């Protein structure tokens, strides 16, 4: 096992890692829509989905893979009314159409509108 760490994605805000590489897989922690350079979170689901995708991509890259190797994602939305707008952004990044779960949750850390985690094949 190898812990994945990159400055191109937000640092963990709790007792966890950005990601792990193990048994031929790269597994990311859930990524909030936070700009790692500023710590700021944009407004609106489209802008937030964009940052969540970028942050997942940075961890995948640090683990030596890209979006094309993602086999499973789990997506969390603060409001299922954002589903269509979220999907529009998500589809630009996850073009290989990995298996996915997408659920609405009561709250996300920092008041985020979305969070994405991914599992990729090395």
- For residue 60, what are its two tokens? 């995948």
> How many alpha carbons fall within 13 Å on the CB side of residue 8?
14
Q: How many CB atoms lie within 10 A of CB 84?
A: 9
Q: How far is CA 33 from CA 40, 78, 112, 114, 122, in A?
A: 8, 13, 7, 7, 25
CATH number of the domain residue 65 falls in: 3.30.1330.40
Query: How high does pLDDT run on average in the chain?
Result: 97
Query: What is the pTM assigned to this prediction?
Result: 0.96
- Average the pLDDT over 4-8 and give the result: 97
Is the alpha carbon torsion for 17, 21, 22, 25 positive or negative? Answer: positive
Phi, psi of 110 (to 5 degrees): 60, 15
Number of H helices and E strands in the chain, helices first, is 2, 6
Count: domains in the chain: 1
Handedness of CA 54, 58, 60, 65 (dihedral sign): positive
Average pLDDT over residues 98-121: 97
Find tokens 């966890």 and name the residue: 16
At 46-72, the pLDDT tens digits run: 999 999 999 999 999 999 999 999 999
What residue numbers bound the domain in which 15 lies?
Answer: 2-121
Residue of 53, 75, 102, 114 with catalytic role: 102
Q: Is 75 a catalytic residue?
A: no
At 17-56, the pLDDT tens digits run 999 999 999 999 999 999 999 999 999 999 999 999 999 9
């Amino acid at each position: 096992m190898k812990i994945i760490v990159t400055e191109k994605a937000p640092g963990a805000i709790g007792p966890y890692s950005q990601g792990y590489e193990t048994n031929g897989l790269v597994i990311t922690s859930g990524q909030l829509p936070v700009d790692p350079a500023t710590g700021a979170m944009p407004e609106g689901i489209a802008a937030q989905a964009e940052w969540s995708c970028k942050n997942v991509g940075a961890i995948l890259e640090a683990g030596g893979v890209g979006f094309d190797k993602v086999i499973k994602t789990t997506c969390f939305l603060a409001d299922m009314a954002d589903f269509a707008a979220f999907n529009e952004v998500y589809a630009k990044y996850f073009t290989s159409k990995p298996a996915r779960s997408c659920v609405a949750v009561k709250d996300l850390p920092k008041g985020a509108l979305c969070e994405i985690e991914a599992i990729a094949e090395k």
